[in-house]
Amino acid sequence: MPLRRGRIGAVGGGTLSRLTNLGDEPSVRLSGVRGKRQRGGPGRRRALLFAATLAICVGCDHTAKRIAGSSLGDAVISLGGDSVRLELVHNPGAFLSLASELPADVRGPLLLVLVPLALAALFVLALRSRAASGRSVLGLGLIAGGGLGNWLDRLMHGGAVTDFVSLGLGPLRTGIFNLADVCIVAGALLLLLLSAEGGKYEGRTRPIP
């Protein structure tokens, strides 16, 4: 009898051990799934921030251009002692009329092809850079949103972009630009600021939590 009890105890103990191990397996699997989800979280948040910034830039730029096109016409409006001047022009070149002197058959295809490639590169950079901070993704989104806004405007207006505002201080005056150009400059300045601070673009800022 003692021998049988020992065998029964051994069998029972082994069964209990196996049941305990089986009970632990789902928790281990769930922990692995949660770990994968947590690792994927920052990438999704970066993509969402980039896409939201891009969409806001494009929407605001399109609205501003429509208002300028319907209200300015041939008029020139001066504000603040001519520090701000509103006038509607159609710019065949790139940012601040860059490349406008190129032949039309070269300029058009060049700008229409290069811009989408640059936008795709910015999206990949924002999504794949694991050290990307929220501010750096915001800067990339501003640049991409401004570029996409002007690219769409170029498609809708036969290769020309709608510009409507310039700034002046005394004898100095900027070229005529639009809201998309402002987004591009703001994004570039933000990235330069982060780089000067030893930020993300050098791989040293805190990533998105």
Cα angle, residue 45 at apex, residues 44 and 49 outer, rounded to 5°: 120
- Residues annotated as catalytic are 163, 181
pTM exceeds 0.85: no
Domain-located, residue 139: yes
pLDDT in tens, 51-97: 999 999 999 999 999 999 999 888 899 998 889 999 999 887 665 55
Residue 33 lies in a domain: no
Q: Coil, helix or strand for 90?
A: strand
> According to the model, what pLDDT value does residue 63 have?
96
Specify if 83 maps to a domain.
Answer: yes
Q: Does the residue 31 lie in any domain?
A: no
Residue 98 lies in a domain: yes
In a domain? residue 207? no
Q: pLDDT digit string (tens) for 139-190?
A: 989 999 998 999 899 888 877 889 999 999 988 998 889 999 999 999 999 9
Quote the domain boundaries for residue 112: 41-202
Count the domains in the chain. 1
Strand order in the sheet with 161-169: 76-79, 84-91, 161-169, 172-173
Structure tokens at 172: 């100095």
Among 108-112, 127-131, 199-203, name the one with the lowest average pLDDT.
Answer: 199-203
- Position 99 scores a pLDDT of 53
Element housing 49 (H / E): helix 2-71
The reply to whether 161 falls in a domain is yes
Report yes or no on 2 lying in a domain. no
